[in-house]
Structure 1
């Protein structure tokens, strides 16, 4: 490991390298200096999930530069703890990642005296909303076309529906007959769920720089509970703000887990939703247009529908993408997401009234 990090930091400055965090995609290590102080984070980038490494690392460099600029302009006194700084290679300052012949690595600055919150209370939801709204606002003047897609068509509804249709046509493991009822529910909603693409074509819904993974544990707090910064930038790319607000509503506002087997436990946590929206609009409201504001609740339905489609397509295809713990796991996830979508539809009028 020291040989890897010494591509970014002089070898004589490096102390211990220890596993860090509990991420499911990248392997992460905390690196100390010779005095034992944590100074750096070393990550192996999972190039199977993120095959476009050069685009990913170019994106994070642009985002870091823009955030540093905006924070400096605002007179931020705690600058180094408010954004992620990625180190360039010592041998080539134009590159911020290292390829060892098999794997890709990067190093960023360790943010001291920081913590994440795993328990989602209304207070934490409000902080998360403020943090993600502020993150988007700081990056809102990055011109469209500057950043690339780290995962192509990641939140494209036409693409996800096409994946499902292809899986149904092939039916490789003979599962289509048992999910006809779900396919009917998906089909009758499909046209409504293509609304964001139509609005974009009409010039009413712009593409922004978005995070694409808006969960509360991607927000770092200081020891007093104040927000430091948003982390985990691997999916930062162009997209619609409906992805960010919608994915939080999908994951954080659900009363149950996304694979809950007991469908009666699934429901909408309105205090969490209200707190998140209040926090988000307090910061993102500076740049959102009226169409974007009006579609926040719809974003929750959209992203829940999209995840229903993705789980079902993978189930029909033989469980090739999502890790499963039993043969019916993806079907269980599909039914749970579909039930949550129904709950969001039942609450739609109340959720949209709160936006006004």
Structure 2
């Protein structure tokens, strides 16, 4: 639907005068329908919100509106392009059956992978600075965007249920993976202990490298983007997702089993950034938990891939029948590598 029939109402809600010729499809995101809008005064990102992925968009807008009101995000050393508030005071605008939002456009470079450890350091530094910028906010006022999203105990129990009701024979390679991931219950127990000891903080919860915009020379981070998953979480979650996606030698779809391992230089850069930025703010227990974070985030992803395979591939998009099984094996090998270094 690119007729832009929503534009008259959108213009009214934001005091704009946009025309269809200014609105161009943008990016390769798989969740929201995204457009770039070149206005004489400024360039914007316009999104039609995907309600099938985020079933409670009002929770995301609630969290964003709290950030706009109470967070000193202008003091961050990078841009933080939160959605713009409409004339009604909301960041999300309902037009007919859809929700729309508008954010400032930030020009720069998005990386799909990290080649140099210094870029790993810059990425981790930015995400750690974002966590600290929310340090004085009332964390209890923020809502969980996706309930149980990073709950290791919940994901473990979902795996056990999938094993009981498996649509695939549990034998051979499948049995190997089931045995491996069920034997990681000790990580679930460690997670439960840490939850009782560590403070909740405002975390990004999707700290992939392509959720940053770098300067053209790749010497600095210009913006942290993809802000839908910002919600209460633990420092080790954001660090751990960086480890899983930045410090791994191969992407999660790789089946080059012998080439999957932790890049120790990138891992060290990620850890150094979190300890540098968090000094005096993160507790000693939080700093100690960082090594757990890499293992935990890799393990929870392995749980989810294997669960989906056993359930008949109903959640993740796949290109072939065993792709989720192979993704789980990929995460198993990465987890084994992490367990050897931390």
- Normalising by the residue count of structure 2, what TM-score does the alignment of the two structures yield? 0.91
Of 99, 121, 129, the residue aligned with 1:126 is 121
Q: 2:227: which partner in 1?
A: 233
Aligned pair in 2 of structure 1 residues 238, 16: CA closer, same or farther (>3 Å)?
same
Measure how far apart 1:10 and its partner are. Answer: 2.9
Is 1:216 the equivalent of 2:221? no
1:134-149 correspondence runs (5 A): 134-149=129-144
CA distance in 2, matches of 1:331, 1:182: 8
Is 1:314 the equivalent of 2:308? yes
Q: 2:111: which partner in 1?
A: 117
- Greater displacement, 212-221 / 2-11: 2-11
- Matched residue SS, 1:228: strand
Q: 2:297: which partner in 1?
A: 303
CA deviations 1:5-41 (Å, max 9, x no partner) are 42443342556001112212111111112x4x65211
- Normalising by the residue count of structure 1, what TM-score does the alignment of the two structures yield? 0.87
Aligned pair in 2 of structure 1 residues 228, 8: CA closer, same or farther (>3 Å)?
farther
Q: 1:351: which partner in 2?
A: none
Measure how far apart 1:133 and its partner are. Answer: 0.7
Measure how far apart 1:282 and its partner are. Answer: 1.9
Aligned pair in 2 of structure 1 residues 209, 175: CA closer, same or farther (>3 Å)?
farther
> In 2, are the aligned partners of 1:157 and 1:194 still within 8 Å (CA)?
no
- Matched residue SS, 1:28: strand
1:303-342 correspondence runs (5 A): 303-342=297-336
- Matched residue SS, 1:51: coil
1:50-89 correspondence runs (5 A): 50-67=54-71, 69=72, 71-72=74-75, 82-89=79-86
CA distance in 1, matches of 2:113, 2:51: 30
CA distance in 2, matches of 1:27, 1:115: 20
- Give the unaligned 5+ runs of structure 2: none
> In 1, are the aligned partners of 2:241 and 2:294 still within 8 Å (CA)?
yes
Measure how far apart 1:70 and its partner are. Answer: 5.0
Aligned pair in 2 of structure 1 residues 174, 267: CA closer, same or farther (>3 Å)?
closer
CA deviations 1:270-327 (Å, max 9, x no partner) are 1111112222222233411111101211110111111111000000000010000000
Aligned pair in 2 of structure 1 residues 344, 321: CA closer, same or farther (>3 Å)?
same
- Give the unaligned 5+ runs of structure 1: 349-356
- Matched residue SS, 2:140: coil
- Greater displacement, 159-168 / 327-336: 159-168
Q: 2:175: which partner in 1?
A: 180
Q: 2:278: which partner in 1?
A: 284
Number of equivalenced pairs: 333
CA distance in 2, matches of 1:117, 1:332: 25
Q: 2:246: which partner in 1?
A: 252
- Matched residue SS, 2:159: helix
Measure how far apart 1:116 and its partner are. Answer: 2.3
CA distance in 2, matches of 1:7, 1:197: 49
1:98-117 correspondence runs (5 A): 98-111=93-106, 113-117=107-111
CA RMSD of aligned residues (A): 2.0
> In 2, are the aligned partners of 1:20 and 1:30 still within 8 Å (CA)?
yes
> In 1, are the aligned partners of 2:168 and 2:312 still within 8 Å (CA)?
no
Q: 2:49: which partner in 1?
A: 45
